[in-house]
Amino acid sequence: MTKMTIEEMTRDDLTAMILRAKKRAGLGWSEIAEKIGMSPVWTHSAATGMNAFPEDKARAFANLLGLPDTVMDLLTESPLKVWDQAVPTDPCLYRFYEIVGVYGPTLKALINEEFGNGIMSAIDFSMQLEREPNPKGDRVKLTMSGKYLAYSNW
């Protein structure tokens, strides 16, 4: 099999390359993020093409995982954030859709009540994931912080 040139490589091809390199390196996302100075959530989202790495972080990431220099353009390229709108069957991903489906209108109403008619930005945004010990079984704690953006009236 011939090697693919960078011109032929898609973002999906790069994601597959990254996941193989991560497995070979034996590193978790938290370890990778710590070594390049980013959060685990951001690192994973950029590694899978949903965000673009800043050039210095892309270089550190590529070096850490032994990726070729030819991937730098794809790592730093502005993403096309398109995803399948069908509800996924993976239980973990499905639950996130369920959370938005059940609580989305409530969160929207509470944001509007607290801040006014607007949204929480997913551009000026951060998210952290933590393990929260609990005698009934450890819990997943997600903290999301997004800038409030008011709708303009014109």
- Answer with the one of 34, 51, 76 that is the final residue of a domain: 76
| Residue 104, in any domain of the structure | yes
DSSP-assigned letters across all residues of 17-79: HHHHHHHHHT--HHHHHHHHTS-HHHHHHHHTTSSPPPHHHHHHHHHHHT--GGGHHHHHSPP
Which residue numbers in the chain have pLDDT < 70? 1-7, 82-84
In this prediction, residue 106 carries a pLDDT of: 86
Distance CA 105, CA 11 (A): 33
In this prediction, residue 105 carries a pLDDT of: 82
| Residue 82, in any domain of the structure | no
- CATH number reported for the structural domain that contains residue 36 in this entry: 1.10.260.40
Best CA proximity match to 113, nearest among 65, 85, 143, 148: 148
In this prediction, residue 85 carries a pLDDT of: 73
Extract the tokens encoding 9.
């490589």
| Residue 81, in any domain of the structure | no
| Residue 4, in any domain of the structure | no
> What is the set of active-site residues?
95, 98, 121
pTM equals: 0.75
Yes or no: say if 53 and 82 are a contact pair by the CB < 8 Å rule. no
Q: On the CB side of 17, how many CA atoms lie within 13 Å of its CA?
A: 21
Extract the tokens encoding 57.
């972080």
> How many domains, in total, are found in the chain?
2
Provide the residue range defining the domain that includes 39.
Answer: 11-76
